Structure 1
Amino acid sequence: MRARRTNALRSMLASLAGLCGVVCFGAGASLAADEPRPPLAIQLSLDRPIDATDAPFVMAATGGLFTAEGLAVTINFASGSPDAIARVAAGTSDFALVDINALVRFRDKDKQGVPPVKAVFMLFNKAPYAIIARKSRGVRALSDIEGKNLGVAEGDLSIRLWPAVAKQNGIKIASVKQSNISAAVREPMLSAGQIDAVTGFSYLSAINLKDRGVPADDLAVLKFADYGCDAYGFAIVVNPALAAAKPEAVKGFVRAVIGGTHLAIKDPAAAVTEVVNRMDGGSRELELERLSAILRDNILTGEVRRNGIGGIDVARFERSIDQLAEGFKFQKRPVTADIFDDQFLPPVNGRLIN
């Protein structure tokens, strides 16, 4: 009997010891989980060398916002939006800032096996597409472009929206001579009077021309957005594998960019100082003018002030695809859900601009 009681006691003690072992192991695991984890390494592609366009990312980095989200972001530079998108599709970059209309074209290409890259955050609520002209050469309004010589740089997406803009405004597109030129000579040729106008980004060509000595009052900046163009502009795209495996990291990246945008809006001068410090010979005055134009014309629109930054209006985006189709023949017309994924955006109250 005593032997039986002794064995039972031993068995109970063994069970308690085993239970204690499990609890202690679990507590140890919990403590390990609470320890600081190394940040997630992130590669971000910009579609051109750094300038004031990238102030939200620079401010997110210098303000510690990426770090606060557990991200270690490294920036690399692509040779345009198509190259940046291709890097994200291949997985060599996790995110990229690209022209969303370049993404629409990229997704239309017949590439089997290429991951379906999507945008997750719209930085430029209005595309910066414009015709920049010299008033001294007879161009003050869009209607004056008929009979003029328009310089179009290779790969410039503005020209893909031009047919829709011309149609909406009664411009006889056949009456406008288009000269294909290199992007490197776009501003020099216009400043020298070799052409009457160029297509490009309002905050790039116009400001660069003033820097080349063209008087500001001789420049006509005809923004497509003022003439019925519904196109959105620069957006953040993400690698689909990262989005599927680490959705919280994508949400954190977006939150950090929103925070960086707030910082750039609050203090553009400080933002430009940080940007110029990372440029090779950048002009603080020039970049401050550029950032001011971007904030005014492309980011802080009425739509953004009403609905918050980062999202899109589906009906407007669908119209923009139809407008793009005026100058680009789709193999299969995409729909909004093919291009933009809003699941990583914070609620509207986390995206409002004060």
Structure 2
Amino acid sequence: MTTRIFRAGLTAALVLASAMGAQAQDKTKVNFVLDWAWQAMHGPFLIALDKGYYADEGLDVTIDRGFGSGDTIAKVAAKAYDFGFAEGTSLLKFNTENPDDQVISVLIINDESPTGVISVQKNGVTTPQDLMGKKISATQNAATVLVWPVFAQLNGLDPEGIEYLFVEPSLRDAMVLQGQADATFGFATTTVLNMVQAGVDRDDITYFTLAQYGLKPYSSGIIVRADYAKENPEVVKGFVAATVKGLVDMLADPEEGLKLLKEREPLIDEKVEAARWELAEELSILTPSVIDLGISEVQKVRYEEAAMQVAESFGIDVQPKMENYYDPSFLPSRQDRQVPEAAKERAAAK
């Protein structure tokens, strides 16, 4: 009897293992690359992975760190990855230069860009007007440098009114902290926290974004090759739906995503990443538009006006049409993209 019971148990185990193996084989393998090294902004993807949201959509997702939005776009275009998380404004230039490898956004997470001007209190740089006559550390040909003339025009400033100190990206913040530059151009969600890690008191850091003063292109989100999206619509819909669920959960409880981030990358500073997420919510994710309309509820007029400004900055002779760069047809229902009440309360309290 013992032998029969053992054999029956073994048979059941083998059947279960076989079924699980078949189930895993049925899932579509998806390779996903981020924009940079693991940070708080990537918490929603880890939640979607950990909670099985991707698996529920029939997807077997692998996530790799990135090395900059430009690199991410190039890798997706080259079919090294199926999906990427990247700054969407870069698609204008890329698609113009690569007509046979078009890449589109299918979900916008950062409703506004955190790109801006960062300094310290003693330098007195808190508005665009304060930049006149100042020294700015920047990286040559960086997006912020290219859009500066348009931004200056929007704010009635002389584009030649600042002095650039061009350095490598890793040196931009240090130039300000060492007193060699009055301010720097960059992502506030990166530079502000870099300064905090360097020992600067958070209250001593000043910043504003270009979006706060009129230059408002939609920013980072999920990108994919246009032909891949056309050939695999259900995969794209499933990936986007699962990612939205992860983002909604992260907005409801940031600690959930930050805990998973620490497990994925043990070397991160949890306090710094919590502050980074808070800043990302403030500057990019929880904008009044997102709170009112929902996640990735993109307005065509705003999209094309901002895209035209960016195209002009990049010297691109094109009249941007939203449908060539952003396709909302893969989004889940608007109801599923609403901001949770806990996030609305945090935004209202600021």
- TM-score > 0.5, shorter chain as reference: yes
Shift of 1:339: 0.5
Q: Deviations over 1:155-208 (max 9, x none)?
A: 532223322221121222211001111111111221111111000111110121
Shift of 1:255: 0.6
Q: Which residue of 2 aligns with 1:324?
A: 310
Number of residue pairs aligned between Structure 1 and Structure 2? 319
Partner amino acid, structure 1, of 2:129: S
Pair 1:165–1:258, CA change in 2 (3 A): same
Question: Structure 1 residue runs of 4+, over 4 Å off?
Answer: none
Quick one: distance in 2 between partners of 1:244 and 1:227? 37
Shift of 1:311: 3.1
Shift of 1:45: 1.0
Shift of 1:280: 5.2
Quick one: distance in 1 between partners of 2:108 and 2:120? 32
The 3-state SS of whatever aligns with 1:200 is strand
1:275 matched to 2:261: yes
Pair 1:176–1:216, CA change in 2 (3 A): same
Is this contact kept in 1: 2:113–2:218, CA < 8 A?
Answer: yes
| Identity in percent | 29
Quick one: distance in 1 between partners of 2:319 and 2:167? 29
Q: TM-score, normalised by structure 1?
A: 0.86
The answer for unaligned runs of 5 or more in structure 1 is: 1-31
Quick one: distance in 2 between partners of 1:331 and 1:161? 15
Is this contact kept in 2: 1:146–1:173, CA < 8 A?
Answer: no
Q: Note the 1:70-81 alignment, pairs <5 A.
A: 70-81=58-69
The 3-state SS of whatever aligns with 1:244 is helix
Q: Which residue of 1 aligns with 2:125?
A: 139
Q: Which residue of 2 aligns with 1:67?
A: 55
Quick one: distance in 2 between partners of 1:240 and 1:174? 39
Is this contact kept in 2: 1:108–1:333, CA < 8 A?
Answer: no
Match of 1:257 among 240, 243, 247: 243
Q: Which residue of 1 aligns with 2:89?
A: 101
Is this contact kept in 2: 1:41–1:71, CA < 8 A?
Answer: yes
Q: Which residue of 2 aligns with 1:287?
A: 273
Q: Which residue of 2 aligns with 1:14?
A: none
Quick one: distance in 2 between partners of 1:258 and 1:238? 16
1:242 matched to 2:242: no
The 3-state SS of whatever aligns with 2:236 is helix
Shift of 1:59: 1.0
Is this contact kept in 2: 1:93–1:239, CA < 8 A?
Answer: no
Partner amino acid, structure 2, of 1:259: K
Pair 1:207–1:157, CA change in 2 (3 A): same
Q: Which moved more, 1:282-291 or 1:244-253?
A: 244-253
Quick one: distance in 1 between partners of 2:217 and 2:230? 28
Bigger-Rg structure (1/2): 1
Partner amino acid, structure 2, of 1:168: L
1:225 matched to 2:205: no
Quick one: distance in 2 between partners of 1:148 and 1:208? 22
Quick one: distance in 2 between partners of 1:65 and 1:155? 39
**RMSD value, Cα:** 1.7
Shift of 1:290: 0.4
Quick one: distance in 2 between partners of 1:246 and 1:191? 49
Partner amino acid, structure 2, of 1:250: V
Is this contact kept in 1: 2:121–2:204, CA < 8 A?
Answer: yes
Is this contact kept in 2: 1:141–1:220, CA < 8 A?
Answer: no
Quick one: distance in 1 between partners of 2:126 and 2:320? 36
The 3-state SS of whatever aligns with 2:313 is coil
Q: Which residue of 1 aligns with 2:70?
A: 82
Quick one: distance in 2 between partners of 1:335 and 1:184? 35
Is this contact kept in 1: 2:118–2:188, CA < 8 A?
Answer: yes
Match of 2:288 among 296, 302, 305: 302
Is this contact kept in 2: 1:276–1:287, CA < 8 A?
Answer: no
Is this contact kept in 2: 1:78–1:84, CA < 8 A?
Answer: yes
Q: TM-score, normalised by structure 2?
A: 0.87
Q: Deviations over 1:267-298 (max 9, x none)?
A: 11221121122225110000000011112221
